[in-house]
Amino acid sequence: MAVLNVHERALPAPPGTVGTLIDTLGSRDDRLWPPDWPPIRFEGPLAVGVPGGHGPVRYVVSHYVPGQWVRFRFTGPRGFEGFHEFGVERLDGRRSVLRHTLVMRPRALLWPVWALFFRPLHDTVFRECLDRAEQALTGNVARPVRWSRYVRLLRAVTARLAPHLATGPCQALNTHPKG
């Protein structure tokens, strides 16, 4: 069974402006990734072939068009096959859509792990990414995402059982300066 999970937001900016936010992913000046989540890190500047991840999720940059689109192919956890990506689409001369898409096939017993653990966290963090994009471009967020009780519970359990996954930088990957 495959997963298709899409989060998107129309933003009052042209694609080039929105695309610059994608280019900051994993950098010291990251304008998309929310600070209250395990940080996204890469082993170098955002480029095809560079490994990275956030929390227990690992991937490699498989495609990258600066200012437009980046795709990450999963390398972990084992059994999660697929990718996730950020892309920008023009709506008109002054508006664009920032979209995050996840396409994945959880193998064997990982389907319930995706549905009960990863999906609620995934949905919340990527909605927060869209909030950060809106904040960066407009100075405010019309309807900020709120953590559900279940997400707060999952975060508390994760912090207790695997504190290195709940907060703080991933030790295996280095932060790089944007430049």
pLDDT at residue 174 in the model: 34
Q: In this structure, which CATH number among 3.30.930.10, 3.40.30.10, 3.20.20.10, 3.30.530.20 belongs to the domain 3-166?
A: 3.30.530.20
Going by C-alpha positions, the residue among 59, 35, 34, 53 that lies closest to residue 126 is: 34
Q: Is residue 169 scored above 60 in pLDDT?
A: no
User: How confident is the prediction for the chain on average, in pLDDT?
Assistant: 90
pLDDT at residue 164 in the model: 61
User: What is the edge-to-edge ordering of all strands in the sheet holding 41-42?
Assistant: 3-11, 96-106, 80-90, 69-76, 57-65, 51-54, 41-42
Interval 94-125: pLDDT, tens: 999 999 999 999 988 889 999 999 999 999 99
DSSP track, 147-161: --HHHHHHHHHHHHH
pLDDT at residue 124 in the model: 98
Q: Where are the beta strands (DSSP E) in the chain?
A: 3-11, 41-42, 51-54, 57-65, 69-76, 80-90, 96-106
State the pTM of this model. Answer: 0.89
